[in-house]
Structure 1
């Protein structure tokens, strides 16, 4: 189950963070998904993976990072002008200046914090997310996500840009809370030339930044944003060939093992089957071919 990783560089920056570099990361050839036996049966039978709402996550910081809301007079003025142009794109300069003057006092940190709370609620309530990992033998993830080692770990082919899982992106683990500005992002979003890039960058900070306490998970995430305002959580089809391996938990009982094996052997192509087992004199698992 060991693989040589090919390095893929991400030349990204954190939105509003003084051009802080996103560190170079590697893209593994496969990614894994830990599941209970019942969930694994559904995936094997239907070729569908479930994207959940970020509201269901157990980490209170996950996808709930708070940006800064203070802005300079120049930034507030620029935002007022962008809003005015959006309301009346054909208005004269004098008319636009008058519109900006009327809203200037309303553009303050409290107003942007209130706006962000509404925006955050929409993102958390309606986004869909699939969490994957680079590891197939982590003791904690088998315990937490695969029903105390009685479940399954599925191995998927991962090629950047190809099929459903090719759109997954790596989580960035940090020691310090990221500093990023919602005021600056808001201004960029209302500038059509910067809108797409600003949304992507802000989304990376919000949804792909976690504390180093979680670094052991080596997580990758497939994220579906509610750009059209509609909920994006729910099931998604994946190509049958993308599932290349099925790992059985070390505490799976014989009945569940028989059901999983029957579903695996019905697939085309048939994925490889592995068994997780405790190592004799280590706090570790070995993943070996099932016989």
Structure 2
């Protein structure tokens, strides 16, 4: 992981936009990040696939690979049943895959901390904040970051032959409407009951306050962070450029 960061394969820093609310306070208080399940993501088109047909050879290989220890007669009967009702078999496989995916925890980050659309959409019109994480300070948390690809159609994925690629083929593809997000995802399984994963406090290097965050809230969050083990964290305030549609950030 650290070598991949040094070689530029993985990002050295990841950012997370947040509104100013109790759930964000909890990140500082619990030193943990929430990992929603795919059905909890804000895009109902997320983690979808294009259904495809399975060849008899693929069905046979899949049955044999996933039923080790069964007798030859049982395997032949299972293959016969699957090929006799291919629609039902595909439906069963897709339901199984969907159940697996829906139990994965997905935490979203971005490589861009000054995206005006992200500040508007995810921080309640610049009233929230953006958390900056140093990936090398907590490689266990961030392994393995998936850089999201953006496409006009659902990805094509064959669970019978590509099950090892489920994360890259299904979880790392979104509609190209979201391309501005430059999203990087971290996926965890299994998830604890509260869906929260602890992180090393040293990994949180910066907190950027939105332009519209009130001064008293900036002070409150700084106090909250320092009280909970983030005395090393740098805090900055967004400033609107007088000459262009852009933000700069000054230490506060």
TM-score by shorter chain over 0.5: yes
What's the offset of the Cα at 1:87?
Answer: 5.7
1:178-209 Cα offsets, whole Å, 9 max, x none, are 32223434xxxxxxxxxxxx33x122211111
What's the offset of the Cα at 1:231?
Answer: 6.5
234, 239, 242: which is aligned to 1:280? 242
1:119-141 Cα offsets, whole Å, 9 max, x none, are 314422x2211101111111111
Distance verdict in 2 for CA 1:107–1:163, change over 3 Å = same
**Aligned twin of 1:130:** 107
- 8 Å CA contact 1:157–1:243 kept in 2: the answer is yes
Match status 1:243 vs 2:187:
no
Please give the TM-score of this superposition, normalised by the length of structure 1. Answer: 0.74
- 8 Å CA contact 2:51–2:156 kept in 1: the answer is yes
Q: Distance in 1 between matches of 2:79 and 2:230?
A: 65
Match status 1:254 vs 2:238:
no
- 8 Å CA contact 1:64–1:206 kept in 2: the answer is yes
**Aligned twin of 1:164:** 141
Q: Distance in 2 between matches of 1:160 and 1:173?
A: 29
- Give the match's secondary structure for 2:140: coil
**Aligned twin of 2:44:** 60
What's the offset of the Cα at 1:253?
Answer: 0.9
Match status 1:217 vs 2:196:
no
Q: Distance in 2 between matches of 1:183 and 1:166?
A: 26
**Aligned twin of 2:68:** 86
**Aligned twin of 2:31:** 47
- 8 Å CA contact 1:51–1:236 kept in 2: the answer is yes
1:53-93 Cα offsets, whole Å, 9 max, x none, are 2112222221122341x12222233334445x5362xx3x5
Match status 1:142 vs 2:119:
yes
- Give the match's secondary structure for 1:221: strand
Q: Where do 5+ consecutive residues of structure 1 fail to align? A: 9-25, 186-197
Q: Distance in 2 between matches of 1:129 and 1:243?
A: 19
Q: Where do 5+ consecutive residues of structure 2 fail to align? A: none
Q: Distance in 1 between matches of 2:74 and 2:100?
A: 30
- 8 Å CA contact 1:171–1:219 kept in 2: the answer is yes
**Aligned twin of 2:131:** 154
**Aligned twin of 2:168:** 204
**Aligned twin of 1:99:** 77
- Give the match's secondary structure for 2:174: strand
What's the offset of the Cα at 1:37?
Answer: 1.7
What's the offset of the Cα at 1:225?
Answer: 3.1
Q: Distance in 2 between matches of 1:287 and 1:202?
A: 39
Name the Cα RMSD after superposition: 2.7
1:8-19 equivalence runs, <5 A:
8=8
Distance verdict in 2 for CA 1:67–1:7, change over 3 Å = farther
